C-alpha cells in the first residue's frame, strides 16, 4: 500500500519540463510549498497536495536556472518570503511570491561586461526584517556578496576555480561564516565577522578531495558543524573554531586582534565510487543526514554525539 501511494504521488507531480533545482526555504514548515527552477528558466511554486497547477509562475531567466534558495518568515529568516535564483544567463534575481511577474531585485553585469554562469546562490544575514544578503558563486571562481538592503555589491573575491556551492552557517543570524566548495576539490571558509580594507575577510582553505567538492551543508542544530561531499563519493565532517591573531596594520593604524577561522576535520567516509551531488540534514533529528550520488543511490547516515559516521 505504501509503495502504491508513493508511486501515485510521483505520477501526480510529474511535469513536462525537467526541474534543475528546488527549495522549501521560502515557506513555513506547515505550508511546505516547493519552489522549483527548470531548464527553460521558469520559476514555479507548488502545493504538493494539489500540484496540477502551480501557485506561482514566472519566466525568471532566459536560460536554465542552475540554483535556488529561499528564506522568509520567523522560522527560517525574518522579513518577506523570498526566493533567489541564479542562471546561466549571468543574472541573480530575488523573487517575492506575493508580487507577480517581476523580481524585487536583479543583479546582473553592466553592459559590455562578460556574463558568467552562476552555479550557486545562498541567503544570509536575515537577522532583522530589513536586512538580507545574497551570496552567489560563478563558474570562473567569482564569489559576490550582494547587500539587498542597500542594493550594492558588499564584497567580492575570486577563488580561481568554479564555485559549486556556497552556504552561510545560518540564514537568520548576522554574517558569521561562509563556506564555498570548488571544482578543484577545495573547501574555502571565510570569517565574515570582521572586514579589513587591505586583506578583506580572513579565509582558510582546505583540499580534501582530488576532484570536485560538490556540496556544503551546516548542521541546523549546531552551526559550527558542517559536512561536504566530494567527486570520489566521500563525505567529510568539519567543525568551525576560533582563534585570535594580530592583524598587521599600516603605521597610521593601531594594531588590532581579529578572530580567524580554524577548520577541524572530524571524520570522513567513502560511500560511493561516483560523485555525491546532493546532501542535506534533517531539521528534527539531530545528526540524521541524507545524500544522493551519481550512481542513483541514496544514502542515509546517522552521526553520533562524537561526530562520527
Rounded CA-CA distance 76/228 in Å is 22
Rounded CA-CA distance 30/192 in Å is 32
Rounded CA-CA distance 227/150 in Å is 32
Rounded CA-CA distance 224/239 in Å is 5
Superfamily of domain 19-175: YVTN repeat-like/Quinoprotein amine dehydrogenase (2.130.10.10)
- In this prediction, residue 305 carries a pLDDT of 53
- Does residue 254 register a pLDDT over 60? no
Q: What's the whole-number mean pLDDT along residues 204-212? A: 93
Rounded CA-CA distance 140/117 in Å is 8
Q: What's the whole-number mean pLDDT along residues 45-73? A: 91
- In this prediction, residue 12 carries a pLDDT of 56
Residue 46 — very low, low, confident or very high, per pLDDT cuts 50/70/90?
A: very high
Strands 152-158 and 163-168, how do they pair? Answer: unpaired
Q: Give the other-Cβ count within 10 Å of 283's Cβ.
A: 13
CA 69 vs. chain centroid, Å, equals 7
CB 265 within 8 A of CB 309: no
- Does residue 154 register a pLDDT over 80? yes
- Does residue 194 register a pLDDT over 90? no
- Does residue 156 register a pLDDT over 70? yes
Judged by DSSP in three states, 10 sits in helix
Percent of the chain at pLDDT > 70 equals 86
- Most distant CA pair in the chain: distance in Å? 75
- Does residue 85 register a pLDDT over 90? yes
- Does residue 200 register a pLDDT over 90? no
Judged by DSSP in three states, 125 sits in coil
- In this prediction, residue 171 carries a pLDDT of 92
- In this prediction, residue 7 carries a pLDDT of 43
- In this prediction, residue 261 carries a pLDDT of 66
The b-or-e profile of 58-70 (16+ CB within 10 A means b, else e) is bebbeebbbbbbb
Q: Where are the domains of the chain?
A: 19-175
Amino acid at each position: 500500500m505504501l509503495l502504491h501511494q508513493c508511486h501515485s504521488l510521483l505520477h501526480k507531480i510529474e511535469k513536462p519540463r525537467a526541474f534543475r533545482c528546488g527549495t522549501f526555504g521560502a515557506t513555513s514548515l506547515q505550508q511546505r510549498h516547493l519552489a522549483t527552477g527548470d531548464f527553460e528558466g521558469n520559476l514555479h511554486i507548488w502545493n504538493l497536495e494539489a500540484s496540477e497547477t502551480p501557485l506561482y509562475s514566472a519566466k525568471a531567466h532566459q536560460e536554465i536556472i542552475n540554483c535556488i534558495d529561499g528564506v522568509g518568515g520567523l522560522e527560517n529568516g525574518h522579513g518577506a518570503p523570498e526566493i533567489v535564483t541564479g542562471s546561466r544567463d549571468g543574472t541573480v534575481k530575488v523573487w517575492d511570491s506575493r508580487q507577480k511577474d517581476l523580481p524585487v531585485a536583479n543583479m546582473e553585469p553592466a553592459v559590455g561586461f562578460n556574463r558568467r554562469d552562476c552555479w550557486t546562490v545562498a541567503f544570509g544575514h536575515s537577522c532583522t526584517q530589513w536586512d538580507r544578503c545574497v551570496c552567489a558563486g560563478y563558474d570562473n571562481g567569482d564569489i559576490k556578496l550582494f547587500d539587498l538592503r542597500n542594493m550594492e555589491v558588499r564584497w567580492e573575491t575570486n577563488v580561481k576555480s568554479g564555485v559549486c556551492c556556497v552556504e552561510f552557517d545560518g540564514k537568520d543570524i548576522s554574517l558569521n561564516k561562509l563556506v564555498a566548495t570548488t571544482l578543484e576539490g577545495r573547501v574555502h571558509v571565510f570569517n565574515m565577522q570582521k572586514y579589513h580594507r587591505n586583506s578583506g575577510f580572513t579565509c582558510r582553505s582546505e583540499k580534501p578531495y582530488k576532484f570536485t567538492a560538490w556540496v556544503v551543508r551546516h548542521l541546523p542544530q549546531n552551526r559550527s558543524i558542517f559536512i561536504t561531499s566530494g567527486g570520489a563519493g566521500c563525505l567529510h565532517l568539519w567543525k568551525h573554531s576560533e582563534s585570535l591573531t594580530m592583524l598587521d596594520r599600516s603605521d597610521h593604524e593601531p594594531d588590532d586582534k581579529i578572530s580567524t577561522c580554524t577548520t577541524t576535520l572530524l571524520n570522513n567516509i567513502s560511500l560511493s565510487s561516483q560523485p555525491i551531488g546532493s546532501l542535506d540534514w534533517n531539521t528534527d533529528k539531530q545528526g540524521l543526514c541524507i545524500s544522493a550520488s551519481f550512481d542513483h543511490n541514496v544514502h542515509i547516515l546517522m552521526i553520533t554525539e562524537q561526530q562520527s559516521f
